């Protein structure tokens, strides 16, 4: 590793003038990135990490501006470059790998010409053979087969698209690569593969790398140095091992401790209190009777049967990669999506065949928390509408005063100040606040079953634990059985009473979490667990192996039958 | 800080605060104001003019022929007179009386046609997007087919067959050609909104279809509806004027388009009677600029990203 700095930020300040005054997005940031080093920018949303990266590219969104300081790209003063020189600098010297590869590729162009565009823009027209040679080399270097260049973006999987974006970024051998949360939309297995690709290619061309992210585990596995940002300030900077083993700033400590670990200390309240309210129906709460779902020729869910008694509140976790059928299962339970075969019975009543009155009763008793807290509120109404409307609709409201009190209590139960939050519009609240409100809404209706479909995957890491422990605490207090759908095995390990691992619509391993996640036996479960990036330097993840290919491992896992690792009372999964 | 120094800063701050208020309240939009002002001016001209001006002057032969506006001379060296301040046409009609009656008529046809068109569009769009299936196919294909038919062609054929029509009938005929694009727009919005989290939440809350359509979805469509409405008013006026300039449409009721038709027919361009065709054209241009400004203003209202801090 040489000592020549690729990028030097000196006293960099960036501000955004807004109606409420000037917002300091980045406050006198000093940072040096050396050649061949990987530097992670970590912090919550709004901490200025993406803004800094965009400033380096001179691509700040209006009305943002660099208020002071210098950006030095191995000898070039970036801020002094005019638009044309900057255009030539982008891609050839600084490459940017965006967050959503899904949306970054032109859907009507094949992959190859999109790679050529960058080359032509910087080097003028080359002959076709030379272009082809360059794009083939770039695709090969990111581990994609050459024929994938002839495909359209929609024919590639998410991980492949992200790797095409990497190929696009490195085709001109830039001095600096900026990767803005390159894996946030991918599941853990694909994430591991993409990060491995990125690390390998960066080492090969010897450029500097800025990795922007909020996942401490991913950082620990991917970078050499870590810069912790909070509210636009660099609060801590050092090598990864130094920061992880001895974080100095309290915020860094929070970031590290908020990552839930399998087998680590639980983030939940240990004391269990209050026996659950009794149910009045002898029928099991929820029964899947050989339910399956096909989308055309694709089977999303193979026939599955289970019975959830629901006499004692339990949390059943369904874990799996995207495409494993777990969300399909959730929407079938909610009655949004009719099963292709089989029946879903709620207290003995088929969910798909209900009278209007039964349907209203079913809606009251089965509530959901969805993944995306940003879309769950109608932007036209104040957030209190989302709480008040169902409460009145289900006939729970006796008077306006009583409704208001119930709303205030529900807010308080999830740790929100009702006076501060309820009269606002959705866009005035943060994602975490909105997700808590959705939890509060569900609790206010005191359902018997709550379906939580990735309830925390879109909120900042530090909030995940607190929202999950909100849900967990309220389970016993209100006697709610919960179906927790997630891809995050670490949280499932802590909160659930029973875990089902789904792989391509089949249950591959099921049982209590201590067995299934703590001591996985099925190769697929092991693949999932091995792919979790741990914030622990000794527990290596991307060990530099180039031959690690999830497709091979998955093919092997598909050959192994389902494993049942023990039972819990109140939940019965039919063995196939 | 002394009082002299603080005075200018206070004023600057006030100005700044005013700018920011304008940013915070999207309806305080200058484009919207100017556009609405221009249109209201034309409506006011029609309303107030009816009380202040002698409307009998719209009848043929009620005035001397081909007098220029006040302050100009025609080819026969006749000066404009105060009795007919905007001049008179070749049939002996007063231009001011013509536009007092004609301009609101033109606007009326446009508004009525697009009101009817929008109502059809909202109903069909919501039905198609929400019900889906076969109903959606029928409505979508119908709208797509209708959008490819040039309206002027059909209307020309229709009106030349039936001769004189009233303003209302003309508006109804035009309405048959302005419902397609609102239908498509609303259908697309409803389809994407149906998947949104808050509609799912409303379903979870046991909301009825009616509630979801009109209480959850419609309020969020208001900006689109406004924009679409203004666009279809423009289209309707253009279509109506186009027909009138061809000599079709109402024969006995003065409209801006009909006045231009008569001017062209009487050779006003050759005789340099510019006020005859120029004044109605100017009013039409004002109308379109007003509508355009309202549309741009509404765009900024519904899309905060277009708003600038200036």
With H, G, I as helix, E, B as strand and everything else as coil, classify residue B265.
helix
What are the two backbone dihedrals, phi and then psi, of residue B113, each rounded to the nearest 5 degrees? -60, -45
The 3-state DSSP class for residue A166 equals helix
Task: Tell me which chain B residue has its CA closest to the CA of residue A362.
Answer: B206
Distance of alpha carbon A50 from its chain centroid, rounded? Answer: 17
- Separation in Å, CA A479 to CA A83, A387, A448, A450, A482: 62, 20, 7, 10, 10
Task: Give CA–CA dist B197/A430, Å, rounded.
Answer: 16
For the B97-306 domain, the top CATH level (class) is mainly alpha
How far apart are the CA of B12 and the nearest CA of chain A, in angstroms?
A: 15
Question: What pLDDT is recorded for position A354?
Answer: 86
Q: What gap in Å lies between CA A186 and CA A197, rounded to an integer?
A: 14
How far away is chain A from the Cα of B80, in angstroms, using its nearest Cα?
54
CA distance A272 to chain B (A): 30
Per the CB < 8 A criterion, the answer to whether B113 and B178 are in contact is: yes
Nearest 5°: CA angle at B185, between B179 and B190? 120
Residues 6+ apart with CB under 8 A from B190: B125, B126, B128, B129, B130, B217, B221
Where helices occur in A110-187 by DSSP H, the ranges are 111-123, 128-141, 158-170
Burial class of residue A246 (count of CB atoms within 10 Å of its CB; 0-12, 13-18, 19+): exposed
pLDDT of B2 higher than 50:
no
Q: Is A377 in Cβ contact with B197 (below 8 Å)?
A: yes
Contacts of A17 in chain B (CB under 8 A): 309
User: CB contact, 8 Å: B25 with chain A?
Assistant: no
**Interchain contact, B197 vs A375, CB within 8 Å:** yes
Put simply, whether B274 touches A (Cβ < 8 Å) is no
Measured CB to CB, residues of chain A less than 8 Å from chain B are 17, 19, 63, 334, 336, 359-360, 363-364, 367-368, 370, 372, 374-381, 386, 389-390, 393-394, 438, 441
Q: Strand A506-511 vs strand A38-42: parallel, antiparallel, or unpaired?
A: unpaired
Q: Answer whether B207 sits within 8 Å of A389, measured CB to CB.
A: yes
Chain A residues close to B196, C-beta within 8 Å: 375
CB B86 within 8 A of CB B92: no
The per-residue DSSP string of A176-228 comes to: EEEEESTTTTS-HHHHHHHHHHHHHHHHHHT-EEEEEES-HHHHHHH-SEEEE
Higher pLDDT, B24 or B102: B102
Mean pLDDT over residues B20-40, rounded? 78
Q: Do B205 and A363 touch (CB under 8 A)?
A: yes
Cβ of B198 and A378 within 8 Å?
yes
> What pLDDT, in 10s, does the model give residues A301-326?
889 899 988 888 889 999 988 778 88
In terms of Cα–Cα distance, which of A450, A485, A511 is closest to A313?
A: A450
Q: B24 and A19 in contact by Cβ < 8 A?
A: yes
Specify the pLDDT at position A471: 84
Domain limits, chain A: 5-257, 286-375+448-522+561-573
In A, minimum Cα distance to B212 occurs at A378
Segment B102-114 mean pLDDT: 92
User: Across the strands, what pairs with A14?
Assistant: A26, A66
Q: Do A386 and B198 touch (CB under 8 A)?
A: yes
Average pLDDT of B65-72?
Answer: 84
- Give me the pLDDT at residue B124, please: 93
Give all strands (DSSP E) within chain B, no chain letters: none
d(CA A525, CA A557): 9
Q: Do A394 and B201 touch (CB under 8 A)?
A: no
Q: Do B198 and A360 touch (CB under 8 A)?
A: no
Sign, CA dihedral A373-A376-A379-A384, equals: negative
Residue B8 has a pLDDT of: 53
CA dihedral A481, A486, A488, A494 (to 10 degrees): 0
Rounded mean pLDDT, B286-308: 79
Distances from the Cα of A116 to the Cα of A110, A166, B194, angstroms: 11, 14, 39
Phi/psi for A275 (5° steps) reads -65, 150
Cα gap B266→B90, rounded to integer Å: 7
What are the pLDDT tens digits along chain A (576 aa)? Answer: 456 788 999 999 988 887 777 888 888 889 899 888 999 998 877 788 888 888 888 888 777 888 888 899 888 888 888 888 898 888 889 999 887 766 788 889 999 999 999 899 888 888 899 999 999 988 988 888 888 889 898 888 888 888 898 898 888 889 999 998 888 777 788 888 888 888 888 888 888 999 998 888 888 888 889 999 988 888 999 898 888 888 888 888 888 877 777 766 666 665 555 555 556 667 888 899 889 988 888 888 889 899 988 888 889 999 988 778 888 888 899 988 889 999 999 888 888 888 888 888 899 899 999 888 888 888 888 888 889 999 988 888 888 899 999 999 888 888 888 888 888 888 778 778 888 899 889 888 888 899 998 888 777 777 788 888 888 887 888 888 999 998 888 888 888 889 999 988 889 999 998 888 888 889 888 888 888 887 776 666 655 555 667 777 788 878 888 888 888 887 888 876
Neighbours of A108 (CB within 10 A): 8
* Minimal Cβ distance to B205: which of A379, A381, A390: A390
User: Alpha-carbon distance B60 to A441, whole Å?
Assistant: 72
Cross-chain residue pair A378–B216, CB shorter than 8 Å: yes
Residue A541 pLDDT: 67
* CATH number among 3.40.50.300, 1.10.3720.10, 3.90.180.10, 3.40.640.10, domain A286-375+448-522+561-573: 3.40.50.300
Q: In chain A, which residues have their Cβ closer than 8 Å to the Cβ of B207?
A: 389, 393
Radius of gyration of chain A (CA): 26
Which two three-digit tokens encode residue A242? 């130094």
d(CA B181, CA B118): 9
Q: Is B205 on the interface with A (CB under 8 A)?
A: yes
Q: Is B216 on the interface with A (CB under 8 A)?
A: yes
**CA-based nearest residue to A195, from A55, A91, A97, A106:** A97
Domains A5-257 and A286-375+448-522+561-573 share a fold: yes
How far is A296 from chain B, CA to nearest CA, in Å? 17
Q: Please tell me the total number of residues recorded for chain A in this structure.
A: 576
Instruction: Quote the CA–CA distance of B129 and B121 in Å, as a whole number.
Output: 12
Cβ contact A218:A191 at 8 Å: yes
- DSSP reduced 3-state for A415: coil
**Chain B residues with CB inside 8 Å of A389's CB?**
202, 205, 207
Minimal C-alpha gap between A367 and chain B (Å): 7
* Interface with chain B: mutation pick from A368, A389, A431, highest number of B CBs within 10 Å: A389
Task: Answer whether A152's CB lies under 8 Å from A49's CB.
Answer: no
**Token pair of B275 as six digits:** 């006020």
CB-based burial label for A168 (10 Å; 0-12, 13-18, 19+): buried
Looking at the DSSP bridge assignments, the partners of residue B238 are none
Question: Using the 8-state DSSP alphabet, how is residue B61 labeled?
Answer: T
What's domain A5-257's superfamily in CATH?
A: P-loop containing nucleotide triphosphate hydrolases (3.40.50.300)
Residue of B201, B211, B223 to mutate when probing chain A, most A C-beta within 10 A = B201
SS3 B194: helix
CB-CB neighbors (< 8 A) of B220 in chain A: 378-380
Question: Mind listing the pLDDT tens digit for each residue in A143-155?
Answer: 888 888 898 988 8
B206 at interface of A, judged by CB pairs closer than 8 A:
yes
pLDDT for residue A337? 85
| Closest C-alpha among B103, B86, B91, B98 to residue B62 | B91
| Mean pLDDT of all residues in B108-123 | 93
Q: Where do the H-state alpha helices sit in A223-263?
A: 240-245, 250-257
């Amino acid at each position: 590793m040489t000592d020549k700095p690729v990028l030097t930020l000196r006293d960099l300040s960036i501000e955004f003038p807004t109606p409420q005054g000037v917002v300091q997005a980045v406050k006198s940031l000093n940072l040096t990135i050396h050649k061949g080093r990987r530097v992670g920018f970590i912090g919550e949303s709004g901490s200025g990490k993406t803004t800094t990266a965009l400033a380096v590219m001179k691509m700040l969104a209006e009305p943002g501006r660099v208020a002071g300081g210098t950006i030095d790209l191995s000898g070039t003063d970036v801020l002094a470059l005019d638009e044309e020189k900057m255009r030539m600098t982008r891609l050839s010297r600084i490459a940017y790998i965006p967050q959503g590869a899904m949306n970054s590729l032109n859907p009507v162009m094949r992959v190859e010409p999109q790679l050529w565009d960058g080359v032509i823009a910087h080097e003028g027209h080359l002959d076709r053979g030379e272009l082809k040679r360059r794009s083939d080399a770039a695709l090969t270097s990111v581990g994609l087969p050459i024929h994938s260049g002839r495909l359209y973006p929609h024919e590639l999987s998410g991980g492949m698209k992200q790797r095409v974006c990497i190929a696009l970024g490195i085709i001109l051998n830039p001095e600096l690569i900026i990767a803005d949360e390159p894996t946030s939309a991918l599941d853990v297995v694909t994430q591991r593969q993409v990060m491995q690709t990125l690390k390998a290619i960066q080492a090969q061309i010897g450029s500097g790398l800025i990795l922007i992210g909020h996942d401490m585990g991913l950082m620990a596995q991917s970078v050499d140095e870590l810069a912790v940002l909070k509210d636009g300030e660099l609060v801590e900077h050092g090598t990864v091992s130094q920061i992880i083993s001895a974080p100095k700033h309290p915020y860094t400590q929070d970031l590290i401790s908020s990552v839930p670990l399998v087998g680590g200390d639980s983030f939940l309240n240990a004391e269990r209190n209050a026996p659950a309210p009794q149910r009045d129906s002898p029928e099991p709460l929820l029964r899947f009777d050989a339910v399956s779902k096909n989308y055309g020729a694709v089977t999303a869910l193979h026939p599955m049967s289970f019975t959830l008694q629901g006499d004692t509140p339990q949390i059943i976790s369904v874990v799996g990669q995207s495409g494993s059928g777990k969300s399909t299962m959730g929407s079938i339970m909610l009655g949004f999506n009719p099963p292709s075969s089989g029946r879903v019975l709620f207290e003995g009543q088929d969910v798909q065949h209900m009278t209007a009155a039964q349907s209203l009763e079913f809606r009251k008793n089965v509530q959901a928390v969805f993944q995306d807290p940003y879309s769950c509120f109608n932007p036209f109404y104040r957030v209190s509408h989302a709480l008040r409307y169902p409460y009145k609709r289900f006939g729970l409201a006796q008077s306006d005063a009583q409704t208001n009190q119930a709303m205030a209590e529900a807010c308080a139960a999830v740790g929100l100040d009702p006076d501060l939050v309820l009269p606002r519009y959705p866009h005035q609240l943060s994602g975490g606040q909105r997700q808590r409100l959705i939890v509060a809404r569900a609790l206010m209706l005191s359902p018997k079953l709550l379906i939580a479909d990735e309830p925390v995957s879109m909120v900042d890491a530090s909030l995940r634990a607190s929202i999950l422990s909100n849900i967990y605490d309220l389970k016993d207090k209100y006697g709610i059985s919960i179906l927790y759908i997630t891809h995050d095995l670490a949280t499932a390990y802590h909160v659930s009473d029973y875990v089902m691992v789904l792989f391509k619509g089949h249950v591959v391993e099921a049982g209590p979490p201590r067995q299934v996640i703590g001591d996985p036996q099925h190769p697929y479960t092991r693949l999932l667990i091995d792919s979790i990036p741990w914030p622990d330097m000794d527990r290596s993840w991307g060990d530099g192996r180039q031959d690690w290919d999830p497709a091979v491992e998955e093919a092997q896992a598909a050959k192994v039958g389902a494993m049942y690792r023990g039972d819990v009372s109140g939940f019965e999964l039919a063995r196939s | 800080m002394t009082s002299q120094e603080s005075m200018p800063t206070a004023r600057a701050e006030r100005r700044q605060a005013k700018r920011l208020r304008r940013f915070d309240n999207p309806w305080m939009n200058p484009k919207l104001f100017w556009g609405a002002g221009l249109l209201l001016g034309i409506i006011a001209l029609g309303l107030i003019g009816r009380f202040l001006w002698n409307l009998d002057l719209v009848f043929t032969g009620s005035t001397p022929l081909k007098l220029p506006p006040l302050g100009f001379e025609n080819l026969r060296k006749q000066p404009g007179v105060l009795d007919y301040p905007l001049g008179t046409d070749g049939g002996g009609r007063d231009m001011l009386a013509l536009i007092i009656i004609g301009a609101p008529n033109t606007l009326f046809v446009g508004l009525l046609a697009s009101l009817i068109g929008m109502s059809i569009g909202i109903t069909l769009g919501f039905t198609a997007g929400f019900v889906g299936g076969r109903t959606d196919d029928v409505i979508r294909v119908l709208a797509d087919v209708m959008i490819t038919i040039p309206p002027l062609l059909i209307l020309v054929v229709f009106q030349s067959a039936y001769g004189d029509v009233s303003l209302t009938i003309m508006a109804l005929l035009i309405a048959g050609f302005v419902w397609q694009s609102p239908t498509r727009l609303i259908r697309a919005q409803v389809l994407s909104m149906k998947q949104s989290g808050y509609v799912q939440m409303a379903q979870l809350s046991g909301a009825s279809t009616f509630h979801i359509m009109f209480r959850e979805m419609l309020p969020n469509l208001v900006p689109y509806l406004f924009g679409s409405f203004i666009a279809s008013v423009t289209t309707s006026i253009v279509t109506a004027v186009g027909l009138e300039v061809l000599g079709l449409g109402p024969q006995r009721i003065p409209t801006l388009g009909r006045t231009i038709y008569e001017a062209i027919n009487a050779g006003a361009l050759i005789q340099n009677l510019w006020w005859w065709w120029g004044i109605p054209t100017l009013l039409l241009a004002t109308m379109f600029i007003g509508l355009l400004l309202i549309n741009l203003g509404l765009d900024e209202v519904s899309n905060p990203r277009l708003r600038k801090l200036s």
